[in-house]
Structure 1
Amino acid sequence: MEKIDAFCHIMPPEYYTRFFELDGSIAAANLRNRVSAIPSLHDMDVRFRLMDEFGDYRQIINIAAPPVEDLGSPAISKEMSRIGNEAMADLVHKHPDRFAGFTACVPMDDPEAAVEELDYACSELGALGAQIYTSMHGHPMDEDRFDVFYARAAQLDKVIQVHPCRNSTWADYPSETVSKFELWWALGWEMDLSMFMGRMVFSGVLERYPSIKFLIHHGGSMIPHFSGRVGPGLDQLGARTPPGQRADVEHFPLSKRPLDYFKMFYVDTAMFGAAHALRCSIDFFGVDHVLFGSDCPYDPEKGPGYIRSTIKNLGEIGLDDSDRRTIFNGNVRKVFNDTLDAGV
């Protein structure tokens, strides 16, 4: 069965080289050891060998964390976005049997520039959409300044992949200054994704742009598992709001239940081998809103592990062949506008 992996990370050699040249970025410094220990991020020979295990298998790639906004000034963000996009486009062009497409890197510290880069990447390079993060320098992604980007992505009918991005400086408790035990990653990233979804719902982004296509990493994170709170709980919105925040819930922009908006998101299958969690995500969002995605190459084997475990999970949670085919390639083709065989 054909498998198109809709959420994979990469650092093409051109981007990787420039990433290691940058000075003054704490985010780059913190991640250099991590990415340098994963050869398949930047060495295509290593990557192709690990992909060979999975037969009829291709990837949709995006630039690995950290966000370009964390690498320096807005000028650096634009530079790194362009380097990454042109390098990914070149990989897709040269290896269509390996890479079904890419999503653009965009400098969200300058939303107008992000729109320009999205336009360039889609019209000139063939990008399938863009990847953004759950915050930008600590700012929520429902701020008015970002609306121009959502409007353009919806107009172009392009996918917006959403990746979490907090780090250890985001404390777990108000009394502390840093997060401990890597919980900022294991649990904090899932909070980030869930909060992003909630803010897109309640700020009215999905109301204004009902055709917008967000692809949320990690199976929609906490939302399917806490659907009772998201559904009946948020039907009572305002009951818990203190008087000083009444403006948050008055003149509300939504025309239907909050839960109905959450079901509009698309999600991937990157649950790292937790079959029960994958089943929960599919049950909540429905087979038609779930895309095969592995988070390659961030598993302990540095490439194939999460691909293998995700394929195994999809074969053991009670799906029939039609549903598995829908998740492995049908939804990917539909959501990305069925342009994935050009050049193959």
Structure 2
Amino acid sequence: MERIDTHTHVVPGVWRHFCREYGFDRPDGMPAIPAWTPEAHIDLMNKLGISKSILSITSPGTHLKPDDDVLGRTITRESNDEVARICRLHPNKFAFFASLPLPDVAGSVEEIDRALDSLGAVGFALMTNAHGYYLGDARLDKVFAKLNERKAIVFMHPTTCHSQTLPEAERPLSQYPAPMLEFFFDTTRAVVNLILSGTVARYPDITYLVSHCGGALPPLVERFSSFATRILGGEMAMDSSHVKELFNSRFYFDLAGFPFPDQIHGLLRMTDASRLLYGSDYPYTPASALTGMATRMDDELKKLFKEGAVREIYSGNAKRLFKI
């Protein structure tokens, strides 16, 4: 069955160089930045029946040094340029989400137009926080206004929370790689902040793609919405039914990682097959693991959905979203 991969990564050489130079050669506690070539990626796609991969740069993003916006803009522009060149060489296989140099607002607003108008990006990959400023922070409103103006697709990817003022501050349970646990909590923080800050409501033409089956979000919807309404009140009042309406109109959720056999059931209490997308997380999930994971996904999806719905999850939803 055909698949379109909406959660898969690219490692451009220029970005790898900057990551090593600025201390991110073992990002988020992982052993290393994985090897990546277009040829190896396309080989994997052929093995798994993936017709199109939407490439993105992952954590830590492209703003690597706090308070150095000039460097952030340089890394972002050079990385986006290289990824765009890769996609032009393989237009039938690859498209890409451009990076933005958040929390640099002016640089990000400028890059949005450049990426869409000159580079051909299909949307933007935003980290869940930028040096401690979470998506939905008022400091980023001008960026979201521009994304809304361009009716943009925003792919949200978790990252380690590094404080703007204390970049050396150690994250919780740092003995474990952040993708094991902390990424799920950071995704949840970002989505909750986007909703409760009113950002999702103020900018209705942005579509959000949430990584890893919604992270730790599904079991907490009733808690954060009820707390905001019954205890905080005021502008934060947010009924859980309205949150679910947003999930079914403004959000999509990819199945990258390990959503089976348990996590998927929490998400399906919030939404349905029409909001699910396929994701591999290659190369941060290695090719050697993905064949078995793909078979597991096939088996588990068949238990939950009819064949037509599975087809939509694997490719149909993405085709409509990206107009493929």
The secondary structure found in structure 1 opposite 2:304 is: coil
Q: Larger radius of gyration, structure 1 or 2?
A: 1
Identify if the C-alpha distance between structure 1 residues 116 and 147 changes in structure 2 by more than 3 Å, giving closer, same or farther: same
**Structure 2 CA distance for partners of 1:184 and 1:56, relative to 1, 3 Å:** closer
Q: Does 1:62 align with 2:47?
A: no
Structure 1 76/310 Cα, relative in aligned 2: closer, same or farther at 3 Å? farther
The residue aligned with 2:8 is 8
Q: Can you give the 5+ residue segments of structure 1 that lack an aligned partner in the other structure? A: 170-175, 242-248
Match of 1:320 among 299, 302, 306: 306
RMSD (Å) for aligned C-alpha atoms: 2.9
Query: Separation in 2 of the partners of 1:323 and 1:67?
Result: 33
2:86 aligned with 1:102, yes or no? no
Q: Are the aligned partners of 1:81 and 1:106 in contact in 2 as well (CA < 8 Å)?
A: yes
What does 1:182-201 align with in structure 2 at a 5 Å threshold?
Answer: 182=176, 184-201=178-195
Q: 1:224 to 1:33 in 2, by over 3 A?
A: closer
Q: Which residue of 2 aligns with 1:115?
A: 109
Does residue 293 of the first structure (1) align with residue 279 of the second (2)? Answer: yes
Tell me the TM-score normalised to structure 1 length: 0.80
- Name 1:92's counterpart in structure 2: 87
| Structure 1 residue aligned with 2:34 | 38
Q: Indicate yes or no: 2:128 matched with 1:134.
A: yes
Contact 1:204 1:254 in 2 (8 A): no
Within 1, Cα distance between the matches of 2:18 and 2:176?
A: 27
Corresponding residue pairs, total? 315
Report % sequence identity. Answer: 23
Alpha-carbon contact 2:136-2:194 (below 8 Å) kept: yes
The answer on whether the counterparts of 1:275 and 1:313 sit within 8 Å (CA) in structure 2 is: no
- State the 1:299 CA deviation: 2.1
**What TM-score do the two structures reach when normalised by structure 2?**
0.85
Distance, in Å, in 2 between the alignment partners of 1:314 and 1:304 is 15
Counterpart CA distance in 2 for 1:33 and 1:215 is 24
**1:205 shift after superposition:** 0.8
Shift in Å, 1:44? 2.4
**Runs (5+) with no aligned partner, structure 2:** 164-169
Aligned equivalents of 2:176, 2:162: Cα separation in 1: 7
Contact 1:162/1:216 (<8 A) preserved: yes
Give the SS at the match of 1:215: strand
Whether contact under 8 Å (2:14, 2:79) holds in the other structure is yes
Question: 1:245 is matched with which residue?
Answer: none
Alignment match, 1:77: 72
Structure 1: how far apart are the matches of 2:310 and 2:15?
35
1:228-247 to 2 correspondences below 5 Å: 228-230=222-224, 234-237=225-228, 239-241=230-232
Partner secondary structure for residue 11 of structure 1: coil
**Could you tell me which amino acid in structure 1 is paired with residue 15 of structure 2?**
Y
Is 1:331 paired with 2:317? yes
Q: 1:8 to 1:303 in 2, by over 3 A?
A: farther
Residues 31 and 202 of structure 1: CA distance in aligned 2, closer, same or farther (over 3 Å)? closer
Q: Distance in 2 between matches of 1:210 and 1:293?
A: 25
Q: Residue 32 and residue 309 in structure 1: after superposition, are their counterparts in 2 closer, same or farther (change >3 A)? A: same
Assess if the C-alpha contact under 8 Å between 2:2 and 2:50 holds in 1: yes
**What is the rounded CA distance, in whole Å, between the counterparts of 2:64 and 2:273 in structure 1?**
35
Q: Which secondary structure state, in structure 2, belongs to the residue aligned with residue 107 of structure 1?
A: coil
SS of structure 2 residue aligned to 1:8: strand
Aligned-pair distance for 1:283?
Answer: 4.5
1:13-64 deviation line (CA, Å, top 9, x unaligned):
34334544x3xx23x243399575622x2x2232232222123532100013
Query: Following TM superposition, by how much is the alpha carbon of 1:300 offset from its aligned partner in structure 2, in angstroms?
Result: 4.9
Structure 2 counterpart of 1:172: none
Give the deviation of 1:70 after TM superposition: 2.2
Give the partner amino acid of 1:323. A
2:166 aligns with none
